[in-house]
Amino acid sequence: MILSSSAHSHIAGPGRSAPRRPPANRPAWPVLRRLWLAAIVAAVLLGGYLAGGFLRFAEEVSILARPVPIAPADGIVVLTGGALRIDQAIDLLKDGHGRRLLISGVNPHTSAETLARMTDTDRALFACCVDLDYAALNTVGNAEIARNWAREHGFRDLILVTSDYHMPRSLREFDRVGELRSVTPYAVRRDDLWTADSMPNSAGLRVLLTEYAKLIAARVRLVLGVAQSDSVATELAGLDP
């Protein structure tokens, strides 16, 4: 019987085995292993970078909170949102460290009379030398409004008053808006967030972690050139003396 050529192709020759075909859809395990290894290494490096950055951030906050002599400036800007910030900013104004004070991020329902009463300050000082900003909605807005306020009054040198943990991000936002010659930090320490040996307690650690995450987000936004929306309430953009 004569076999067809197609039949011969299925019969192995003497001493030869039939060729093997690779199983269909066989996973590329070496490639997957390399990808997993690369992902693990990247995660370790990123975790180390973030952990090291947090330690540097906590150290920066601790350094900024140390009392230092403050030289006089053109104006003083205080960012609302933390205990004692406004009180200490008004003390700087009374002591002649600046010609005017901007309180940025004031609740729209809070009047100058209310702030004067809360801080036990003569209303005449508010009428003379204090401006209220009701428009800023966050730190980005604080910096933008302060820049405009300084430009309006011809100020080049400011003292910035805010909480110690908030100061690093605030300084970066003020640096971002430009135009100012100098911004001197005056950090208000939250004693309830720190232990006697200047280590954060559990509440302080939570605050620092939250603020560090916001700082990282601000850095990423700056690198990508992405503006933060809703930083200023445009319908309230005027300053109320």
Predicted confidence pLDDT, tens digits, the chain (241 residues): 444 444 444 444 455 555 565 555 555 677 787 888 888 888 887 777 777 777 887 788 888 878 788 999 999 999 998 768 999 999 999 999 999 999 999 999 999 999 999 999 999 999 999 999 999 999 999 999 999 999 999 999 999 999 999 999 999 999 988 889 999 999 998 777 777 667 777 787 898 889 889 888 888 877 776 666 667 775 444 554 4
In the structure encoding, which two tokens stand for residue 120, read together?
């036990």
Domain assignments of the chain as residue spans, ordered by start = 63-240
d(Cα 182, Cα 193) in Å, to the nearest integer?
29
d(Cα 163, Cα 159) in Å, to the nearest integer?
13
> CB within 8 A of 214, min separation 6: which ones?
169
> CB within 8 A of 42, min separation 6: which ones?
none
Q: Is 116 helix (H, G, I), strand (E, B) or coil?
A: helix
> For the chain, give me the number of helices (H) and strands (E)?
8, 6
pLDDT in tens, 136-153: 999 999 999 999 999 999
How many other CB atoms are found less than 10 A from the CB of residue 111?
Answer: 14
Highest CATH level, class, for 63-240: alpha beta
204-234 exposure pattern, b = at least 16 Cβ within 10 A, e = fewer: beebbeebbeebeebeeeeeeeeeeeebbee
> CB within 8 A of 152, min separation 6: which ones?
none
